[in-house]
Amino acid sequence: MKKILAIIILITFLSCEKDDGNNSIEIDNSPLTHAELGFELDEPDVILNELSKGELKKHINSILLVSYGNAYRKWEFEYIENTDMLSKMVFYLPNYQGCEQNVYEFSYNENSLLDKVISTRENVCNEYEVIKIYTFNYNDNGLLKSIFMDNDFFVEENYFGYYPNGKIKEIYNDHRGRGVEPSFGVQKFTYNDSFTNVIEVESIGTSTHYTYKYFYDNNTNPFKDVFIGTSVFMPFIGPAYLSENNVIEMIEKNENNIHNQEFSTEFIFNYSSNNSLIDYSSLDNEIIYTVNQ
């Protein structure tokens, strides 16, 4: 159970979809504006804009997650014709089976980089709808500097710092509602010598401090380059949007724990004869992803 708890904590911290659709919200007419970091992040010598491409390798049609035998999440994907660039992603929430889906529509600028992602979360049973707009912001040199999310009641900022070679060095994130002061957390990324895979992530929040170490296989990671916002769950293990290969083991350490304990979670990846990913799971098969192409 400790291994399963580790992955749930990671998923929740890095990529959990905030449930802000059907809560009682106090009316506040004050404007929701985006907060500045207050300091400059490092810019690269080479512009890669990996997170602006919106591509899924191997042209995946859908992914089904089944955990603990009955809870599920599902992602379905559509593409711009003759490309690996996403045009739409449909996400089915696990606890609203038959009632709710979240549709993400992707649009691109003249340089074929992501411009906006519009998220429409609709629940037909409880008759409500939540719309979020994620805007990708570039500087005059075409470098992705930030991704902002706006809707009627919440805003989010994702700010990016870079290594000189164009790889993501750190992501500062804040997600807040009306009347809440900005509070940025940060994810700091350490790569292997060839900068092909992230081998460590340091995640620091206002009251949390975790370190995650990652170990990889030699197969192509199909989820690389897909990023919408840290509040959007994507079907990955670890920092998949930055790594070339697939994580086979994750070691988690709570830096605030005086006992200095570490917890290891292992994953099994299965591939077809042409090296396409079929499925992957935790070692005890309590969390299973099935990939359809």
User: Which helix (H) or strand (E) covers residue 10, if one does?
Assistant: helix 2-15
- pLDDT confidence band for 203 (50 / 70 / 90): very high
Q: What is the pLDDT of residues 232-251, one digit of tens each?
A: 877 777 788 999 999 999 99
CA torsion sign, 273 to 278 to 280 to 284?
Answer: negative
Asked whether the whole model's pTM tops 0.75, one would answer: yes
| Of residues 269, 227, 220, the one with CA closest to residue 243 | 220
Q: How many residues does the chain have?
A: 293
CA angle 149, 150, 152 (to 5 degrees): 150
Asked if 146 and 135 count as a contact pair (C-beta separation under 8 A), the reply is no
Q: What is the pLDDT of residues 16-66, one digit of tens each?
A: 444 444 444 445 556 689 999 999 999 999 999 999 999 987 678 999 998
Residue 239 structure tokens: 């920092």
Q: What pLDDT was estimated at residue 148?
A: 97
Long-range contacts for 139-143 (Cβ within 8 Å, ≥24 apart)? Answer: 139/43, 141/47, 142/47, 142/49, 142/111, 142/113, 143/43, 143/44, 143/47, 143/49
Mean pLDDT of the chain: 87
Per DSSP (E only), the strands in 124-194 are: 128-138, 144-150, 154-162, 168-177, 185-191
Asked if 48 and 148 count as a contact pair (C-beta separation under 8 A), the reply is no
Contacts of 259 (CB under 8 A, 6+ apart): none
CA distance 153 to 253: 34
| Of residues 64, 121, 60, the one with CA closest to residue 85 | 60
Q: What is the pLDDT of residues 130-149, one digit of tens each?
A: 999 999 999 999 999 999 99
CA distance 53 to 112: 7
